[in-house]
């Protein structure tokens, strides 16, 4: 140990409107396992992408095995022996396991592929892991856990000197997690440096030597695992004290139940039951992949549930398509607002009245006077800033785009609004406006479901928080018991 393999100097990365990374510096030594920690959106994945060449840092430099780069191409990253296993699979389900493992790295004489050698190499790799995977099987037949093992094997086939693992245990069960830890132990002894990203702190304590904590795109601390406690790390991750960043408000939730969900299953979620009260802001917390967005798709009838029932305003709701949900007074502000919420190359006007245009028609013909009145009404009420109603929405800021979607739904007389990650990719000032807006809607008697990966945000704004973990409802937390650590524990399936 002791040889420095990687040194990051003041890496910054800006996206339009968002500073994703700001002056992040740390180094990595041979044979070391470094935990990269932080909440969702802290900038961990962005940093990894800068290292593997997927993103180009805005400023700063990286020294990799003595060589300094301001930016690195994916090819250079690879020839510098950096390999990464991302959260999403980069595999082709229709191809056999062996071709996936050696993708882009096929042995042979340059023209013909040496298939027996491929089989042998993957077999040896799996044997050394102690797992039983038939390399000839199509990848799609494997379980997600085994696919993850294949993904790791693929990275190791490149003989990396620096291996980045982004939430590698998310799809793994306890047994495969042990397999992974053994692999990490082995390559560590061979001198490979590992950057390990995980939400599961007990794993970090088990296999990591050192940690770096990130928050809001900056490094907020680093230390040796041995001289730290869980509490230290969580404090660093959570960071700033809860101040009056969020609007002060008493709960406006009434006794009246507007939506009752019973044992809803399907689309990757199981047995979800909850009720939503009139005027309530119900938060949905959880880690990435906990099934929150999937649940919202079920509620909004975008995906058919396999079982369960929904009651809206006392009536059984049997909608099959989003327009049934809309008729019942529901609306969805999707997580990916640019691809699922807005017609980017259409005007502010068209977007606002898209869901309600039928009501502004006589015999199918649009009454433009009425339409303009409505657009003006909502733009004023929500304080949408746009040079004109004919402006294409792609040129508006994220906050204004989000307001347009809210306007679209308000004009359908929606009273159950589902906000899925409404503040993602929106800068701090605009976040405030969205919070205020949500509070105002609740004041007006709307019921709100708010999905967010930022616990702090939910604690600041929700009346009650439902926590999801691995497709199931882990429990509810009432307002007087809101506590970030408790939420994090429940979300990572610990209680």
Partner 1 sequence: MQKILRQIGAVIRNIPAQLILLVLLVFFAVRLKGMFFTVDNLIAIIRQVTTLGIAALGVSFLMITANLDFSIGSIYAFVGVFTAVMYNLGWNIYLAMFVSILLGIALSVLTGWISITFKIPRLITSLAMLTAISGLAVIISGNKTIYGLPDNIKWLGQGYIWIIPISTFIFVILAFLVAFILNRTYLGRYLFAVGGNEDVARLSGINANKIKYIASIISGFLASLAGLVAMSRTFSGSPFAGGSLSTDVISAAVLGGVSIMGGTGKTSGLVTGIFIVGVLATGLNMMNMNTNAQNIIKGLMLLVAVVLDSWTKRKAAAAK
334 is a site residue for partner 1 (CB under 8 A):
yes
What are residue 199's DSSP bridge partners?
A: none
Q: Does 86 contact partner 1 by CB under 8 A?
A: no
318: contact with partner 1 by CB under 8 A: no
**Choices 202-210, 253-261, 315-323, 423-431; region in contact with partner 1 by CB under 8 A:** 315-323
Residues 345-384, mask of contacts with partner 1 (x by CB under 8 A): xx---x--xxx-xx-xx--xxx------------------
Reading the block at residue 251, the tokens are 């709960």
- Whether the CA torsion 339, 344, 345, 347 is positive or negative: it is positive
* Binding flag, residue 323, partner 1 (CB under 8 A): yes
37 binds partner 1 (CB under 8 A): no
Q: From the centroid of its chain, how far is CA 282?
A: 19
Least distance (Å) between residue 406 CB and partner 1: 13
Q: CB-wise, 237 or 350, nearer to partner 1?
A: 350
Cite the DSSP H helix spans in 347-418: 348-353, 368-382, 398-410
Using CB under 8 A, pick the residue from 255, 339, 369, 428 that binds partner 1: 339
Instruction: Tell me the CB-side half-sphere exposure of residue 18, using CA atoms within 13 A.
Output: 19
Greatest alpha-carbon span in the chain = 78
Output the smallest distance, CB 357 to partner 1, in A.
5
172 with 134: CB under 8 angstroms? no
192 or 417: CB nearest partner 1: 417
- Does residue 266 touch partner 1 according to CB under 8 A? no
Using rule CB under 8 A, residue 300 touches partner 1 = yes
- Strand ranges of the sheet holding 416-420, from the earlier edge strand across to the other edge: 330-333, 416-420, 447-451, 281-285, 464-469, 472-478
**Interface with partner 1, residue 342, by CB under 8 A:** yes
Question: Does residue 472 contact residue 271 with C-beta atoms inside 8 Å?
Answer: yes
Q: Which stretch binds partner 1 (CB under 8 A): 135-143, 184-192, 275-283, 338-346?
A: 338-346
CB 409 within 8 A of CB 441: no
Shortest CB 344 distance to partner 1, Å: 6
Closest CA to 152 of 125, 117, 185, 186: 125
Q: Which of residues 228-257 bind partner 1 (CB under 8 A)?
A: none
Query: How large is the angle between the packed helices 115-129 and 144-156, nearest 10 degrees?
Result: 110
Per-position x/- string for 407-446, each x denoting binding to partner 1 as judged by CB under 8 A, each - no binding: -x---x----------------------------------
CB 170 within 8 A of CB 87: yes
- Rg (C-alpha) for the chain, rounded Å, is 25
- Is residue 302 near partner 1 by the rule CB under 8 A? yes
| Binding stretches for partner 1 (CB under 8 A) | 300, 302, 321-323, 326-327, 332, 334, 338-346, 350, 353-355, 357-358, 360-361, 364-366, 394, 408, 412
């Amino acid at each position: 140990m002791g040889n420095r393999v990687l040194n990051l100097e003041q890496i910054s990365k800006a996206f339009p409107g968002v500073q994703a990374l700001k002056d992040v510096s740390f180094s990595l030594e041979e044979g070391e396992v470094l935990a990269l920690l932080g909440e969702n959106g802290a900038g961990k994945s962005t940093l990894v992408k800068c290292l593997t060449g997927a993103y180009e840092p805005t400023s700063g430099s990286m020294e990799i095995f003595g060589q300094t780069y301001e930016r690195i191409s994916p090819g250079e990253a690879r020839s510098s022996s950096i390999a990464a296993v991302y959260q999403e699979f980069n595999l082709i389900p229709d191809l056999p396991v062996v071709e996936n493992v050696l993708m882009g790295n096929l042995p042979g004489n340059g023209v013909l592929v040496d298939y027996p050698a491929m089989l042998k190499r993957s077999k040896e790799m799996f044997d050394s892991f102690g797992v039983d995977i038939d390399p000839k099987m199509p990848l799609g037949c494997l379980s997600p856990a085994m696919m993850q093992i294949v993904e790791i094997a693929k990275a190791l086939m490149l003989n990396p000197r620096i291996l980045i693992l982004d939430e590698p245990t998310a799809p793994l069960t306890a047994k495969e997690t042990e397999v992974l830890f053994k692999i990490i132990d082995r390559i560590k002894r061979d001198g490979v440096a590992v950057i390990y990203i995980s939400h599961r702190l007990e794993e970090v304590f088990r296999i990591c030597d050192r940690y770096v904590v990130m928050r809001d795109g900056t490094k907020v601390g680093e230390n040796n695992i041995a001289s730290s406690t869980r509490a230290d790390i969580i404090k660093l991750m959570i960071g700033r004290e809860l101040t009056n960043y969020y609007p002060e408000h008493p709960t406006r939730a009434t006794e009246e139940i507007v939506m009752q969900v019973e044992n809803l299953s399907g689309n990757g979620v199981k047995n979800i039951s909850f009720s939503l009260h009139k005027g309530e802001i119900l938060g949905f917390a959880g880690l990435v992949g906990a099934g929150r967005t999937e649940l919202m798709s079920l509620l909004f009838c975008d995906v058919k549930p396999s079982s369960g029932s929904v009651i809206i305003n006392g009536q059984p709701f049997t909608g099959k398509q989003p327009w049934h949900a809309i008729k019942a007074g529901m609306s969805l502000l999707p997580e990916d607002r640019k691809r699922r919420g807005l017609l980017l190359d259409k005007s502010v006007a068209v977007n606002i009245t898209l869901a309600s245009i039928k009501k502004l028609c006589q015999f199918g013909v649009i009454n433009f006077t009425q339409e303009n009145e409505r657009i003006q009404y909502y733009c004023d009420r929500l304080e949408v800033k746009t040079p004109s109603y004919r402006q294409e929405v792609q040129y508006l800021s994220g906050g204004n785009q989000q307001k347009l979607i809210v306007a679209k739904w308000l004009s359908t007389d929606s009273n159950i609004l589902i906000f899925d990650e409404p503040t993602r990719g929106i800068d701090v000032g605009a976040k405030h406006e969205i919070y205020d807006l949500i509070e105002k809607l609740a004041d007006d008697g709307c019921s709100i479901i708010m999905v967010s990966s930022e616990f702090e945000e939910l604690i600041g704004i929700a009346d009650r928080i439902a926590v999801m973990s691995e497709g199931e409802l882990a429990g509810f937390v009432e307002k007087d018991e809101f506590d970030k650590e408790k939420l994090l524990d429940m979300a990572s399936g610990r209680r």
